[in-house]
Amino acid sequence: MKQPIYPSLLAMTLILAACGGGGGSGEAPATTSTASGVQQVAMAAESAPAASSATVSPAGATSTSTATASPTQSTTETSGTTTSPVQQPVSTPTPVQTTPVTAPATPEVIEYYGDSTVWGYRTNTGGQVSVPAPAAFAAALPNPSAYVVRNEGVSGTTACELLNGTDGRHPRWSEQMAASKARYVFVNHGINDQWKMDLNTYKGCLRSLAQTAKQYGKQMIFETPNPTRDDVSVMANAMKEVAAQENLPVVDQYTYLRQYLNGQSVFSIVPDGLHPTDAVYILKGKYAAGVFASLFIK
């Protein structure tokens, strides 16, 4: 007579079979219960969380992970074990190659002397125009940054007043030249001179201005007056005569603007009979720059 198989024995056999064939899945449950009430904890490899946190298992065990590593090292945590920080290689910056910058040469100084038509008196209304001829001259030079142009014009003055230091702004010409840093010196006088002195006195003062400037190493450049309501051709010709005697260059504004007029009234360029329009001041400056560049800029 066969013995009956008791339910308790069958259950025990099934449980033992189950315990002997441990599962092959990647993630096993954290706990497994048996019929006898015994609990077994399955150890599973898990990566540590990025931030510090606590995980509580159903059995009440608590594990704590480590905080995130600093940027220069990495920390690896496996199954609750923390490895030593791994030092990341630090690259050494490559030195930057620099090219020495040569300091620019000192700009050459150009001084522009004359009357109100050099200073830039505004025709009819008075005051100074925004761009006097010396300023237009400076802007029109081929390399403007290589020069410093100084407007030394004084309204109502003459060549002899400049020579004698009586123009109200400058000392005697010899003192002015001794102190001046200019390499080039322009002189434009003739309009007021026509009213205040005879021709020979005018030429004598021009000659003294030129010779004194030479003594102090300056390159003198004469500039004839612009056309006016009066005939200043006599003054322009006298200036060119002295320039030829002293071997000086001349910017002949009188002849240039006469040709520019081409038969028009002189009042179209000097509305008050003496002083140029804003546009003609700029025209004068550009013409002078062209002559200067042709003579002294290679």
Whether 110 has a pLDDT exceeding 90, the answer reads yes
Whether 264 has a pLDDT exceeding 50, the answer reads yes
- Give the pLDDT band of residue 14 (cuts 50, 70, 90): very low
- Give the pLDDT band of residue 93 (cuts 50, 70, 90): low
Q: Residue 229: inside a domain, yes or no?
A: yes
What confidence tens digit (pLDDT) does each residue in 119-170 have? Answer: 999 999 999 999 999 999 999 999 999 999 999 999 999 999 999 999 999 9
Which pLDDT value is given to residue 188? 98
Q: 73-74 and 86-87 as β-strands: parallel, antiparallel, unpaired?
A: antiparallel
Between 27 and 284, name the one with better pLDDT: 284
Domain count, the chain: 1
Sign of the torsion formed by the C-alpha atoms of 146, 249, 197 and 190: negative
Cβ partners under 8 Å of residue 153, min gap 6:
112, 113, 114, 115, 116, 117, 118, 119, 120, 132, 134, 188
Q: Residue 62: inside a domain, yes or no?
A: no
Q: Residue 204: inside a domain, yes or no?
A: yes
Which pLDDT value is given to residue 105? 78
Q: Residue 85: inside a domain, yes or no?
A: no
- Give the pLDDT band of residue 290 (cuts 50, 70, 90): very high
Per 3-state DSSP, the chain is made up of helix, strand and coil in percentages (nearest 5) of: 35, 15, 45
Q: Residue 137: inside a domain, yes or no?
A: yes
Which pLDDT value is given to residue 298? 82
Whether 224 has a pLDDT exceeding 70, the answer reads yes
215 in Cβ contact with 177 (< 8 Å)? yes
Q: Report the C-alpha gap between 232 and 297 in whole angstroms.
A: 30
| Residue where the block lists tokens 């100074």 | 128
Which pLDDT value is given to residue 100? 52
What confidence tens digit (pLDDT) does each residue in 55-81 have? Answer: 333 333 333 333 444 434 433 333 444
Which pLDDT value is given to residue 27? 39
CATH number of domain containing 118: 3.40.50.1110
Q: Residue 37: inside a domain, yes or no?
A: no
Q: Residue 15: inside a domain, yes or no?
A: no
Q: Would you give the distance in Å from CA 155 to the centre of its chain?
A: 36
In terms of residue numbers, what domain contains 266?
A: 108-296
Average pLDDT over the chain, rounded to an integer:
78
Residue 111, CA distances (Å) to 30, 135, 147, 184, 186 in order? 97, 11, 10, 6, 6
Which pLDDT value is given to residue 283? 98
Which pLDDT value is given to residue 208? 98
Which pLDDT value is given to residue 94? 53
Q: Residue 92: inside a domain, yes or no?
A: no
Between 231 and 89, name the one with better pLDDT: 231
- Integer-rounded Cα radius of gyration of the chain: 50
Which pLDDT value is given to residue 57? 36
Which pLDDT value is given to residue 92? 53
Chain length of the chain: 298
Tell me the percentage of the chain whose pLDDT exceeds 70: 65
233 in Cβ contact with 254 (< 8 Å)? yes
